[in-house]
Structure 1
Amino acid sequence: MVTWSGHMIEARGLTKRYGPKTAVDDLTFTVRPGMVTGFLGPNGAGKSTTMRMVVGLDAPSSGTVTVNGKAYAEHAAPLREVGVLLEARAVHTSRTAENHLLALAATTGIGRKRVKEVIDLVGLQDVASKRAGAFSLGMGQRLGIASALLGDPATVMLDEPVNGLDPEGILWIRTLLKDLAAEGRTVFVSSHLMSEMALTADHLIVVGRGRLIRDVSVQDFIQSASAKSVLVRSPQASELRGLLLGEGVSVSSSSPGDLHVTGLESEEIGTRAAAAGITLYELTPVQASLEQAFMELTRDAVEYRAPGARGQSDRAYPVESDQEAAA
């Protein structure tokens, strides 16, 4: 049985400057095997630059980053150590999908059998002989993922892998990432789809303005970033509201008969209602979503925000690379 227990990505004091601007600022983190680690942050937060430094495409201004114990360039066969998807369109457009993968395989002595395996794995069997330049965005993503998995690597690092995929494709990549982690591999993935990260990731590394904000499990991130509330439904909502209000307690309403209570546990609300003879139709603790927690934690770290976007999801922010943000 193959074991990847010693394989991980380790960044120590990682910093990248573009002129007077700092895109990545003293980042220290470890991406461990056996789990899917999500890499989150607003546009321009330094995610892409960090991933580029992991594989030596950008040189750090200071600090270090290693993959499986070595700098990426020190590995004799990098494709077998870390599979990377940074830009799915980085292919020779005149080559077929199969020939693109065969060319990559030849650089590391990978056989044709493995090329066929990854083509089947990503679902490109029917278009393997077509030119990559004619591929849709989703097909291009699948080819990029096939390239990343070609060397059967211990570590997989994917930047926005669900970009352009249809619902079936998103479900497929979610299952694939979980399966890779279950095999004990190190899986590091960035995404702007918070709902998808909530379903896929076990652990989160969150950055803003190039700095580390959180390095924590998904559940702990949500719990620490947002206050719990309780949804209460009652035909006597107005009367109950007066009983609940007090120091440290806030009560809001989205519709008649509904109360959203923050600062009191369900048990206390139920006890006060019972003592006053108030009927309750519903008493449900509500936990914020990952997207809500992300927006709350990164609110002050968003450097490029569309007009009127405060409080909206990060889909409202203009897409900018870290280099553009630092310019």
Structure 2
Amino acid sequence: MIEARQLTKRYGDKVAVDGVDFTVRPGAVTGFLGPNGAGKSTTMRMIIGLDAPTAGTVTVNGRRYAQHSAPLREVGALLEARSIHPGRSAFDHLMALAYTHGISRARVSEVIEMTGLQSVARKRAGAFSLGMGQRLGIAAAVLGDPQTVMLDEPVNGLDPEGVLWIRNLLTGLAAEGRTVFVSSHLMSEMALVADHLIIVGRGRVLADTTVRDLVLQAGGDTVVVATDDPAELRRVLVGPGVEITGHPGSEQLTVTGLPAREIGRKAAEHGLVLFELTAKTVSLEEAFMELTKESVEYHAASTTGRAA
């Protein structure tokens, strides 16, 4: 478990992390999302002691990272895949880490196989592709068989097979009861693997929620329906938690709080003919963009209307 309480980091006049509170619980994949400059990397660096908080605390399994006698066995982290000696082989890099914690050679061989590095295990890591570098970084993160795994952008450079592999790895680790904390800009992947989300912007927590709840909040439970008797359809559909809007004289209604299937069933039961029944789908990416639109630090200039 990772617990942050009023965690703050300042660099001179700049506040990178501003009093954040969150808990990353075991048994689930928690996605850590935010625009560039939101404070994600700084927060992760403070979790494993690479940066010292200006104020507040952050603990892993009840202790600060530095207080663990064998930190690799408590939390495995990938923050920068290229932070390895380029002249070492993948095997030697992992063995050097293993020696510091009394981890066996057999475990090194096990994680090499787990991460698909068998064919390049004896090659110098400096010649690795970005994808192979990511695999080596993940191998180092899981080397100590830790209860907590924290990965920053783990799918960078991976091919489709590699993306599927990391997806299965993350869900598998969570299913074993481990704490899994993952930062990513790939919303499509987060939508598939994350059970919980912590979203930050300008150093503050904007949301601590689930994918489903965030999408629903952004209008993901909206259905557009059209009929020749909208007044009667409105009467049929009205109920607790149901919101219905429409313009006078229009055959079209917008319904929130009822799925399309239920609307269609109720209409059929009352003999109402529907001309349209369309569920409005909001993606995690759209919900994320809406939530963080005021927290984006770097905006691209619009090219609309400019000559090529």
Asked whether the two chains share a fold, i.e. TM above 0.5, the reply is yes
* Partner Cα separation in structure 1 for residue 273 and residue 186 of structure 2: 41
Does residue 79 of structure 1 match 2:75? Answer: no
Name structure 1 gaps, 5 residues minimum.
1-7, 252-258, 311-327
SS in 1 for 2:146: coil
What CA RMSD, in Å, does the superposition of the two structures yield over aligned residues?
2.8
- Percent identity between matched residues is 64
Give a deviation string over 1:23-76, Cα, whole Å, max 9, x none. 100001110000000000111000000000000000101000000111000111
Give a deviation string over 1:100-134, Cα, whole Å, max 9, x none. 10011111111110000000000000110111000
Number of the residue aligned with 2:240: none
Q: Are residues 121 and 278 of structure 1, via their aligned partners in 2, closer, same or farther at CA, if it must alter by over 3 Å?
A: same
Number of the residue aligned with 1:36: 29
Q: Which amino acid aligns with 1:201?
A: A
* Partner Cα separation in structure 1 for residue 233 and residue 9 of structure 2: 51
Number of the residue aligned with 1:165: 158
TM-score, normalised by the number of residues in structure 1 = 0.81
Number of the residue aligned with 1:297: 291
- Describe how 1:85-164 pairs up with structure 2 within 5 A: 85-164=78-157
Q: Are residues 263 and 224 of structure 1, via their aligned partners in 2, closer, same or farther at CA, if it must alter by over 3 Å?
A: closer
Does residue 249 of structure 1 match 2:235? Answer: no
Q: 1:287, CA displacement in angstroms?
A: 3.5
Q: 1:221, CA displacement in angstroms?
A: 1.8
Give a deviation string over 1:296-319, Cα, whole Å, max 9, x none. 111111121112399xxxxxxxxx
Q: 1:218, CA displacement in angstroms?
A: 1.7
Does residue 47 of structure 1 match 2:43? Answer: no
Number of the residue aligned with 1:175: 168
Q: Kindly indicate whether the alpha-carbon contact (under 8 Å) linking 2:90 and 2:124 is maintained by their aligned counterparts in 1.
A: yes
Q: Kindly indicate whether the alpha-carbon contact (under 8 Å) linking 2:75 and 2:150 is maintained by their aligned counterparts in 1.
A: yes
Q: Kindly indicate whether the alpha-carbon contact (under 8 Å) linking 1:270 and 1:283 is maintained by their aligned counterparts in 2.
A: no
Q: Kindly indicate whether the alpha-carbon contact (under 8 Å) linking 2:198 and 2:205 is maintained by their aligned counterparts in 1.
A: yes
Give a deviation string over 1:208-255, Cα, whole Å, max 9, x none. 1100111112211211233532255x8x9xx7899999x97368xxxx
Give every structure 1 segment of 4 or more consecutive aligned residues whose post-TM-superposition deviation is greater than 4 Å.
239-245, 262-279
Q: Kindly indicate whether the alpha-carbon contact (under 8 Å) linking 2:230 and 2:253 is maintained by their aligned counterparts in 1.
A: no
Q: Kindly indicate whether the alpha-carbon contact (under 8 Å) linking 2:7 and 2:21 is maintained by their aligned counterparts in 1.
A: yes
Q: Which amino acid aligns with 1:301?
A: S
Q: Kindly indicate whether the alpha-carbon contact (under 8 Å) linking 2:152 and 2:184 is maintained by their aligned counterparts in 1.
A: yes
